[in-house]
Structure 1
Amino acid sequence: MHLVESMAYTGARPWHGLGASLAPDQPIEVWRRQAGMEWEIEEAEVRYVVGRDGIGSLNGFPEQKVLYRSDTRRPLAVVSKRFQVVQPGEVLEFYRDLTAHSGFRLETAGVLREGRKFWAMARTGQSTSLKGRDRVEGYLLLATACDGTLATTAQFTSVRVVCNNTLRIALGNSAGAIKVPHRSQFDPEVVKRQLGITVSSWDGFVARMRALCEVPVDPDSVEGILRRVLTYPSPAGAAPVVNEQALAGVRALYEGGGRGSQLASSRGTAWGLLNSVTEYVDHHRRARSDDHRRDAAWFGPGAQIKQRAWDEVVRLVA
């Protein structure tokens, strides 16, 4: 089952093999049409019938509202009256000046879960090569959901070219993302100021990546780090449960099975260990479909695993 309803992309075919392929540097209007994002989210009052067999008085529920698609009229969610909607078109508009004046290039955009979630991602133009051959590109991802499952989230993300692994880039002391809850109005200019769309965060990230490439990790340390990273949530007070199957899978990737694991930047290093985790989460972790895995890797439990892995390996160079 695909979570992706519609999608447009440039470059390589995406993880699920679907979507409309576009030439680079298309206008925002073309992206919106080809990504299936030309509709809007509309609102209506919640009403219910009091009586048997649907016959009776029609009553309103003023504290809630129904969100539905303008094109198909299909319902998307029932939310609080205070819920602030972000439209599909707003997600793409966020990139208009960035693509026109700041060297950004849109690479993917689309709609998930029948319209409940949508995103766009652009290459920032920032990139580096670690030890000559291991190329990492910088991206900016913006996503939101209208069913309460995701705040409007803007985050810098790195993509390791050799294996297409993704990793959220830390911004200063933050976890690497700006989140606007739906009880607040989404102001794109405020978000851009908070992100600080400059080279500063990228430069700091590159410095840490280079440092990780220089740190060897002995086998005993690998085991300990992965046992701290690959855990299941447990009841309050109980010891965390290690996912032994995931640990075995990640170790196999680290010890030579992973894409790029034999590069000088990765072989036996903290950078290689980090990428064994990110490759496992992005490409191998059990999921109902590739779409579910990617969704979890960007926003859900997979993203949390990658953040724990980053925190662990960064301690090795602190």
Structure 2
Amino acid sequence: MAHQLETMAYVGATPWHGLGNKLTTHQPLEVWQHEAGMNWQIEESPVRFLSDSAAHLGSIHTFPEQKVLYRSDTKAPLSVVSQRYKVVQPFDVLEFYRDLTEYAGYELETAGVLKGGRKFWALARTGQASVLKGNDVVSGYLLLATSCDGSLATVATPTTVRVVCNNTLAIAVNGSAESIRVPHNTEFNPQAVKRQLGVSVSQWDDFMYRMKTLSERKVNTGEALGYFLQVICDTEKDVANRRELTQHRALQKVQELYSGKGRGSQMESAQHTVWGLLNAVTEYVDHDKRSRSVDHRLDSAWFGQGASLKQKALDHALALVA
């Protein structure tokens, strides 16, 4: 099956999905643009259609309320949207990081294009890091992503990556992800978003304090099973009655990851702790959840059902230490 992940560039270790063009560190944005497949623009055209009625055979009409978005390089259509739709260009996503990488110590780590150009993103390491007991390192990142088909607003999301297993988790405080969302009926203002992110990024210490609390909260076998039932299956009754294959497999897999088969599951921070429960779910979503391809899994883990499942896992984990 063809990949949704059209092109991607990265620095450092090969990403968990094994795709992309490897770069050396501190490359200019123009190199990233080329190697990540983001060296094209989104063009616009009015919607036109051909009448096939007998009286007007071959007549071309326009529909002024809508416009077609298409790629400047291949001319491939991307979507049909309203005239109010504000386009964010692929290079705008990279340009967002220019002052952050030049003056604030950020470093781009991955960037790429999904779904033939309908979604694109860049991910940068912020330089923030915390260490949980047993030398379990968690690093801070900033993900900026957008779409041109209405499936995703332009979203800047502070994100953590657990180094030992590359599990990703959006930073969430007070029950919601600390994302800045700019809908496509609004002009994307990078500097305004960065000013708002200044508040969100400052929540790093608070969020990591909570993760430290998770790593110190011990759980018994019954609590672990109850957690996974709530996160994966909603209720124990639901499992007993429905017994869907996908749910059963997911429940079995997260229990295996938690019990010692997961990367980092035997570290002091994760053994028999709520932190270990949470990372069993995030590892399952990022690395093991069934998907049509690895790039479908990436799309889900960052933007779709996988991201929602990780947020649910975090909510239930925090409830155990409330």
| Shorter-chain TM-score tier | over 0.9
Q: What does the per-residue CA deviation read over 1:22-79, in whole Å, with 9 as the maximum and x for residues that have no partner?
A: 1111111111111111110010000001126994210001111000011111111011
CA contact (8 A) 2:134 2:267 kept: no
Number of the residue aligned with 1:278: 282
Number of the residue aligned with 1:43: 44
Number of the residue aligned with 1:194: 196
The one-letter amino acid paired with 1:211 is: T
Secondary structure at 1:51 match in 2: coil
Indicate which of 187, 194, 215 corresponds to 2:217: 215
Shift of 1:256: 0.9
CA contact (8 A) 1:231 1:241 kept: no
Distance of 1:198 and 1:101 partners within structure 2: 19
Indicate which of 85, 88, 91 corresponds to 1:86: 88
Pairing 1:9–2:10 present: yes
Distance of 1:213 and 1:43 partners within structure 2: 50
Q: What does the per-residue CA deviation read over 1:156-208, in whole Å, with 9 as the maximum and x for residues that have no partner?
A: 11111111100001155642211111111111111111212675211111101
Secondary structure at 1:195 match in 2: helix
Shift of 1:145: 0.7
Distance of 2:61 and 2:7 partners within structure 1: 36
Shift of 1:16: 3.2
CA contact (8 A) 1:277 1:309 kept: yes
Number of the residue aligned with 2:238: none
Structure 1: gaps of 5 or more residues = 233-238
Secondary structure at 1:18 match in 2: coil
Distance of 1:89 and 1:173 partners within structure 2: 32
Number of the residue aligned with 2:24: 23
Structure 2: gaps of 5 or more residues = 235-240
Number of the residue aligned with 2:230: 228
Secondary structure at 1:263 match in 2: coil
Secondary structure at 1:154 match in 2: strand
Number of the residue aligned with 2:76: 74
> In structure 2, do the counterparts of structure 1 residues 240 and 127 end up closer, same or farther at CA, with 3 Å as the change threshold?
farther
Secondary structure at 2:172 match in 1: coil
Indicate which of 141, 146, 150 corresponds to 2:152: 150
The one-letter amino acid paired with 1:23 is: T
Indicate which of 124, 149, 154 corresponds to 1:122: 124
CA contact (8 A) 2:36 2:112 kept: yes
Distance of 2:197 and 2:243 partners within structure 1: 35
Shift of 1:313: 0.8
CA contact (8 A) 2:16 2:166 kept: no
Number of the residue aligned with 1:203: 205
Distance of 1:138 and 1:208 partners within structure 2: 15
Any residues of structure 2 matched to 1:97-176 within 5 Å, and which?
97-171=99-173, 174-176=176-178
Number of the residue aligned with 2:67: 65
> In structure 2, do the counterparts of structure 1 residues 117 and 108 end up closer, same or farther at CA, with 3 Å as the change threshold?
same
Indicate which of 253, 269, 274 corresponds to 2:273: 269
The one-letter amino acid paired with 1:258 is: G
CA contact (8 A) 2:16 2:287 kept: no
Distance of 2:227 and 2:168 partners within structure 1: 20
Number of the residue aligned with 1:310: 314
Secondary structure at 1:196 match in 2: helix
CA contact (8 A) 1:274 1:313 kept: yes
Q: Identical aligned pairs, as a percentage?
A: 58
Shift of 1:81: 1.1
Secondary structure at 2:80 match in 1: strand
CA contact (8 A) 1:253 1:276 kept: yes
Shift of 1:133: 1.6
Relative to structure 2, which stretch is displaced further, 192-201 or 105-114?
192-201
Indicate which of 270, 290, 303 corresponds to 2:294: 290
CA contact (8 A) 1:172 1:201 kept: no
Distance of 2:18 and 2:321 partners within structure 1: 38
Q: How many residues align?
A: 312
> In structure 2, do the counterparts of structure 1 residues 267 and 117 end up closer, same or farther at CA, with 3 Å as the change threshold?
same
Secondary structure at 1:313 match in 2: helix
TM-score, length of structure 1 as denominator length? 0.94
Secondary structure at 1:33 match in 2: helix
Pairing 1:180–2:211 present: no
Shift of 1:218: 1.5
